[in-house]
Amino acid sequence: MNEQAEVAPVVNGPVVDGPVVEGTTRETDAWTMGELRWDVYFGVVLIASLTIAQIAGQASESGRLLASGGLVAMVPWYLLVGRPALYSDRRRLRRGTVYLVGLVPLLIVVQIGAGAGTFILLALAPQCFMTVPFRRAIALVIALSLTQPIVALVQRAPAAEIGTLFGVAVGGIAFSIAFGAWIMRIINQSAERAELIAQLEQTRAELAEANREAGVLAERERLASEIHDTIAQGFTSIVMLAAAADAVIESDPAQAKKQLELVDRTARENLAEARALVAGLAPTALTSATLSDALARLTDRAGQELGITAEFSMTGPPASLGTGTEVVLLRVCQEALSNVRKHAKARSVRVWLRYRDDGVSLEIADDGVGFDSALVGEGFGLRGMRTRVAEIGGRLSVRSAVGKGTTVMAEVA
Q: Which residues contact 373 (CB under 8 A, 6 or more apart)?
A: 398, 400
> What are the contacts of 52-57 at 24+ separation with CB within 8 A?
52/114, 52/116, 52/119, 53/110, 53/113, 53/114, 53/116, 56/114, 56/115, 56/116
Kind of pairing between the strands at 309-315 and 348-356: parallel
170 lies in the same domain as 35: yes
Among 154, 183, 207, give the residue marking a domain's end.
207
How does DSSP classify residue 132?
S
165 lies in the same domain as 305: no
Among 192, 207, 222, give the residue marking a domain's end.
207
How does DSSP classify residue 200?
H
- Kindly report the pTM of this predicted structure: 0.43
pLDDT at residue 19 is higher than 60:
no
In this structure, what CATH number is given to the domain that contains residue 311? 3.30.565.10
**Which comes out higher in pLDDT, residue 263 or 325?**
325
Q: In 280-394, where does DSSP find H-type helix?
A: 284-287, 291-306, 323-339, 380-391
Task: Answer whether residue 162 is part of any domain.
Answer: yes
Q: Which residues contact 123 (CB under 8 A, 6 or more apart)?
A: 41, 42, 45, 46
Q: By C-alpha distance, which of 239, 278, 285 is closest to 262?
A: 239
195 lies in the same domain as 57: yes
Count of structural domains within the chain:
2
46 lies in the same domain as 174: yes
Considering Cα of 402, then 407, then 410, then 411, what sign does the dihedral take?
Answer: negative
187 lies in the same domain as 320: no
Q: Tell me the C-alpha to C-alpha distance, in Å, between residue 234 and each of 74, 219, 263, 269, 273.
A: 88, 21, 9, 8, 9
Residue 356 — pLDDT band, cuts 50, 70, 90? Answer: very high
Lowest mean pLDDT among 41-50, 240-249, 331-340, 383-392: 240-249
Considering Cα of 165, then 166, then 169, then 170, what sign does the dihedral take?
Answer: negative
CA dist 140 and 128 (Å) reads: 7
AA letter at 64: R
Task: Please say whether the beta carbons of 396 and 363 come within 8 A.
Answer: no
What is the side-by-side order of every strand in the sheet holding 348-356?
309-315, 348-356, 359-366, 406-412, 395-400
Task: Answer whether residue 234 is part of any domain.
Answer: no
AA letter at 272: A
The predicted-structure confidence for 277-300, as pLDDT tens digits, reads as follows 665 555 666 777 899 999 998 899
Q: Tell me the C-alpha to C-alpha distance, in Å, between residue 223 and each of 212, 235, 281, 282, 384.
A: 16, 16, 13, 13, 11
Mean of all residue pLDDT scores within the chain: 80
Residue range of the domain that includes 91:
3-207
CA dist 175 and 170 (Å) reads: 9
Which whole number is the average pLDDT over 57-69? 78
CA dist 361 and 412 (Å) reads: 6
Q: Which residues contact 400 (CB under 8 A, 6 or more apart)?
A: 370, 371, 372, 373, 406, 407
Which whole number is the average pLDDT over 143-168? 82
329 lies in the same domain as 197: no
Q: Look at residue 276 in the predicted model and tell me its pLDDT.
A: 67
Task: Answer whether residue 228 is part of any domain.
Answer: no
- The helix (run of H) or strand (run of E) holding residue 314 is strand 309-315
The predicted-structure confidence for 241-267, as pLDDT tens digits, reads as follows 788 888 888 888 888 888 888 888 878
Task: Answer whether residue 261 is part of any domain.
Answer: no
23 lies in the same domain as 135: yes
Task: Please say whether the beta carbons of 161 and 152 come within 8 A.
Answer: yes
Q: Which residues contact 210 (CB under 8 A, 6 or more apart)?
A: none
How does DSSP classify residue 155?
T
Among 154, 175, 207, give the residue marking a domain's end.
207
Residue 52 — pLDDT band, cuts 50, 70, 90? Answer: confident
Task: Answer whether residue 248 is part of any domain.
Answer: no
Q: Which residues contact 273 (CB under 8 A, 6 or more apart)?
A: 230, 231, 234, 283, 284
DSSP reduced 3-state for 11? coil
46 lies in the same domain as 159: yes
Q: Per mean pLDDT, which of 28-37, 112-121, 249-258, 390-399 is the most reliable?
A: 390-399
**CA 12 to chain CA mean position, Å:** 27
CA dist 51 and 48 (Å) reads: 5
Q: By C-alpha distance, which of 400, 327, 392, 334 is closest to 365?
A: 400
**CA 282 to chain CA mean position, Å:** 33
318 lies in the same domain as 196: no
293 lies in the same domain as 145: no
Task: Answer whether residue 168 is part of any domain.
Answer: yes
195 lies in the same domain as 62: yes
177 lies in the same domain as 33: yes
